[in-house]
Amino acid sequence: MIQKIRLFGDEVLRKTAEPITPEDPKAAQVVQDLLDTLGANEEFALAAPQIGYSYRIFIINPIWIEDEDKRTPMVFINPELLEYEGEQFMLEGCLSFPEIYEKVKRAQIVKFRAQDLHGKWKNYTGRELFARAAQHENDHLDGILFVDRISSIRRKLLHGKLKKMASTTKNGVNVG
């Protein structure tokens, strides 16, 4: 089911998400809702807290695969980021912050592992966009948002906008 995207100011985005047993039917439901909601939006990655579920799950549509027919959204349950290499500094956006794009420094390569819906652990090496998405989405599971990772000067410049956004967000519904 398509769920409403939780916006900055919604407390669920600041919670540390709970691990979940992949075989738990709840996990399958969260994954389905993530897939449905991602499909209805224009971003390519989404974490469970962004649709109101405080569980350690995110999905990434591998848009770096050129042939769209060969893209299947990847599901990561209970991910653990293990190794970071290099640096990249690029504009980033987030569905929970409509129309805000800021440069964020991330590792160029990230090695991580995660479970699939059958509970099987798989290892991944994410590079560039994949690395960036894995770090951004994994942060969501720890209640960390991309505006926490921008320079303090940029954050000061955004302060008024973010304050306004938080004050108009009530229980995930943008009423402003």
Instruction: Tell me whether residue 27 or residue 94 sits nearer to Zn ion (CB atom).
Output: 94
* 57-60/173-174 β-pairing: unpaired
3-class SS of residue 150: coil
Question: Which entry of 11, 18, 66, 137 is annotated as an active-site residue?
Answer: 137
- Output the smallest distance, CB 143 to Zn ion, in A: 12
* DSSP notation for 11-48: GGGGSPPBP--TTSHHHHHHHHHHHHHHHTSS-SEEEG
- Output the smallest distance, CB 1 to Zn ion, in A: 20
Instruction: Tell me whether residue 115 or residue 138 sits nearer to Zn ion (CB atom).
Output: 138
| Inter-residue contact 138 to 46 (CB < 8 Å) | no
- Output the smallest distance, CB 46 to Zn ion, in A: 8
Instruction: Tell me whether residue 77 or residue 147 sits nearer to Zn ion (CB atom).
Output: 147
Residues of the shown chain interacting with Zn ion in the complex, contacts defined by CB under 5 A: 94
137 catalytic residue (yes or no): yes
- List, by residue number, the catalytic residues: 137
